[in-house]
Structure 1
Amino acid sequence: MSVEPISSRTHEQRALISSKAAELFARKGYAATSMNEIAEASHLSKPGLYHHFKDKAEVLFHIADGHVSRLADIVTGVEALGLPPERRLPELIEVFMLEYAEAQNEHRVLTEDVRFLDAEAQACVLDKERTVVRVFADAIAAARPDLDGMQLTKLLTMFLFGMLNWMFTWFQPNGRFSHAEMAPIATQLFLHGVAGMEVEHPAARRKRP
């Protein structure tokens, strides 16, 4: 009988704890969540939880750093494809939103709770966030090079993230539209405004192979 490596079991257990903690942080807030609650949600004793994480701040860092690392890997992967400017930004928005769809709790923690980390941990997360912002800013500059000279690229990038990052406050993924169907809407709205939107009906999108 094969024996699963301890490192693999530890990785899976830490992932489970992080997932349960992210759900609690997203629902209750970081400050209002206790290690006892994280242990209970993870079906662990409190000593069992402390075997994996020394304190609540380490749990928070593991969630935030893991999520932003995945986002950085995803967007730099798109960047490496060398897509033409007219395709790069829509692709970035789509992959960003699809990852967000699978990690809504983690994304909420990243946008709301990183401020509770110490300065060194915040700097680590912020450095990876800068990579994500830089890739999006480069894509916007490629799509509209005329705006880069007006120093509008960074401003527009933050407008875009403002639209994407706060979808969790109102968007219901079990409603009429999915995250995948919202991606082209967000792209059209950002690039062309309401007057220039050309949105495909969700039913037509679902019928495509």
Structure 2
Amino acid sequence: MARPRSSGYDDQRDLILGHAAALFAQQGYVATSMNQVAAACGVSKAALYHYVRDKNELLALVAEGHVQRLAQVVAEVLAEPLEPDARLRALITRFVQEYASARNEHRVLTEDVDLLDPERRERVLDVQRGVVAAFADAVCEVRPALRETALHKPMTMLLFGMINWMFTWFRPGEPLTHEQVAPMVADLFLGGLGAVCAPETSSNTAPTKARAPRRSTKETTT
């Protein structure tokens, strides 16, 4: 008979996933050991295996949790009675803001998803495909002709290219915040360079400098 879960099981597992995501983001999945995860969580290695079967499942839980949250953001925006332009803008803004609170998880998703076993990777990619499809539909609502020319998917991927890799150079507060950058991304995509307006709070501050990525990145869909 399986051992019953304690009342704090979910909270403890969330804590473990948070520490694991931070370690994977900082030093890479391959270089991170289960001993390090256990030490970061303040539990024994044996106790850690009460919550996950192995390190690959730990990676899967981090990645799946992140894409599921992104899918939930999409569902919430699509449920709002918005005009096409406002809906796409809301999707962009919400995603940039979501990444602000999940930078470690997003780095793990973009850099380490290929290290999942095939079945787990496919689950993550399936959710990603749904997110991409929802964005592509939103792009088509703004520019219906794009679907006829099959350009809606490339345009969507160009959009994701702007927001997905922000973690490689963007440092919040130097001088912009995620809240300030989000509408700039939407302006740039929807209106071009001439549509971008600098936030008033940063008008007298030098722009942030791009920084090289910590380690090599892999192409991903979201």
3-state DSSP class of the match of 2:8?
helix
Deviation string 1:90-123 (CA, Å, 9 cap, x unpaired) is: 1001111111100000011111111111111011
Query: 2:56 maps to which residue?
Result: 57
Deviation string 1:30-52 (CA, Å, 9 cap, x unpaired) is: 00100010000010111111111
Query: 2:87 maps to which residue?
Result: 88
Query: 2:129 maps to which residue?
Result: 130
Deviation at 1:124, TM superposition (A): 0.6
**Relative to structure 2, which stretch is displaced further, 29-38 or 189-198?**
189-198
Query: 2:115 maps to which residue?
Result: 116
**Relative to structure 2, which stretch is displaced further, 194-203 or 152-161?**
194-203
Query: 2:15 maps to which residue?
Result: 16
Matched letter for residue 49 of structure 2: Y
Deviation at 1:198, TM superposition (A): 3.6
Query: 1:190 maps to which residue?
Result: 189
- TM-score normalised over the length of structure 1: 0.91
Deviation at 1:203, TM superposition (A): 6.0
Query: 1:67 maps to which residue?
Result: 66
Query: 2:140 maps to which residue?
Result: 141
Matched letter for residue 124 of structure 1: R
Matched letter for residue 174 of structure 2: G
Deviation at 1:6, TM superposition (A): 4.3
Distance 1:101 1:8, change over 3 A: farther
Matched letter for residue 76 of structure 1: A
Distance 1:7 1:79, change over 3 A: farther
Deviation at 1:200, TM superposition (A): 4.1
Where in structure 1 are there 5+ consecutive unaligned residues?
205-209
Deviation at 1:159, TM superposition (A): 0.6
Verify the 8 A CA contact 1:76 1:135 in the aligned structure 2: no
Distance 1:84 1:174, change over 3 A: same
Deviation string 1:69-99 (CA, Å, 9 cap, x unpaired) is: 0100111110121311110111001111111
Q: Does 1:177 align with 2:176?
A: yes
- TM-score normalised over the length of structure 2: 0.86
Distance 1:110 1:150, change over 3 A: same
Query: 2:36 maps to which residue?
Result: 37
3-state DSSP class of the match of 1:52?
coil
Verify the 8 A CA contact 2:175 2:202 in the aligned structure 1: no
Query: 1:155 maps to which residue?
Result: 154
d(CA) in 1 for partners of 2:149, 2:55: 44
d(CA) in 2 for partners of 1:16, 1:189: 37
d(CA) in 2 for partners of 1:82, 1:126: 28
Deviation at 1:199, TM superposition (A): 4.1
Q: Does 1:106 align with 2:113?
A: no
Verify the 8 A CA contact 1:188 1:199 in the aligned structure 2: no
Deviation string 1:132-166 (CA, Å, 9 cap, x unpaired) is: 11111111111111222111100010011111010
Root-mean-square deviation (CA, aligned residues, Å) is: 1.6
d(CA) in 2 for partners of 1:199, 1:147: 29
Matched letter for residue 30 of structure 1: Y
d(CA) in 2 for partners of 1:147, 1:197: 23
d(CA) in 2 for partners of 1:91, 1:158: 17
d(CA) in 1 for partners of 2:145, 2:198: 26
Verify the 8 A CA contact 2:176 2:202 in the aligned structure 1: no
